[in-house]
Amino acid sequence: MIIHKTAIVDAAAELDDDVEVGPYTVIEKGVRIGAGSRVGPHCFLSEGAVLGERNILTAFVSVGTAPQDLVHHTGASRIEIGDDNVFREFVSLNRGTPKEHKVTTIGNKNFVMASCHVGHDCVLGSGIIMTNSVLIAGHCHVGDNVVLNGYAGVGQYTSIGRMAYVGAKARVVQDVPPFVKVAGDPAEVRMVNEVGMARAGIEKEDIDEIKHVYRAIFRTGRSVSEEAHALINDRSPMVRELAEFLLRKEAGRFGRYRESLRGHS
């Protein structure tokens, strides 16, 4: 274990033997950091932060800080982070609240670039790329292999399906279906994320099927709900996933399925 002499690490923190901690970093009691992780200078890891293995925090990263919520919450809450994530300069990650399960969750192999924010009670999957200054409000869910481009803002209780692509400066106020690209203010579906699916290892025939279904749902002028209902029993698991997501969105409040769950967690 390599801890810089200016770092402050509470004796009750649990760091694996080969963890590195840079200058002026503060790590509170109860923090757990897994093997192979590197915490750079001027970082702050608050009580309730649990990090897996081989995570990299470059500099000025805040993990597990209190929720930015007008309601004062007492009692323990936490943030749980998987393995092989990279968090660049000035990233801030808030812990959970009693409004849900008292935990914010981030998966594996995510690349979170400078000045991004992940709010309280969010659930992020794996393989996500957040470019500079992406802001995710509280209670959002983001699926695997999603790309969020610079200055995109994601409103609270919003869900983003896996392999979706969110354009720069997009204002996301409704759920984003899987496998599509969205852009604009407010964000709207523009096309299939063909490149993103290919990079994620999806077979060409499956991509072509999603492209065909996309045209039927979004480009015919017919009811999205009716088209989704017609596809709910499709032979393709990906088509069923898209149809199920759209039906949840249509049933949700303000186009956000999770919005309808408020107060029921």
pLDDT for 36-75, tens place per residue? 999 999 999 999 999 999 999 999 999 999 999 887 666 7
Q: Give me the long-range contacts of 121-125 (CB less than 8 A, separation at least 24).
A: 121/67, 121/96, 121/97, 125/162
User: Residues of the chain with pLDDT > 70: what percent?
Assistant: 98
pLDDT of 74: 63
pLDDT of 261: 84
Q: What is the CATH number of domain 2-193?
A: 2.160.10.10
Q: What distance in Å separates the CA atoms of residue 53 and residue 181, rounded to the nearest whole number?
A: 32
Q: What distance in Å separates the CA atoms of residue 262 and residue 255, rounded to the nearest whole number?
A: 14
Confidence of residue 265 (pLDDT cuts 50, 70, 90): low
User: pTM for this one?
Assistant: 0.94
Mean pLDDT of 175-185: 97
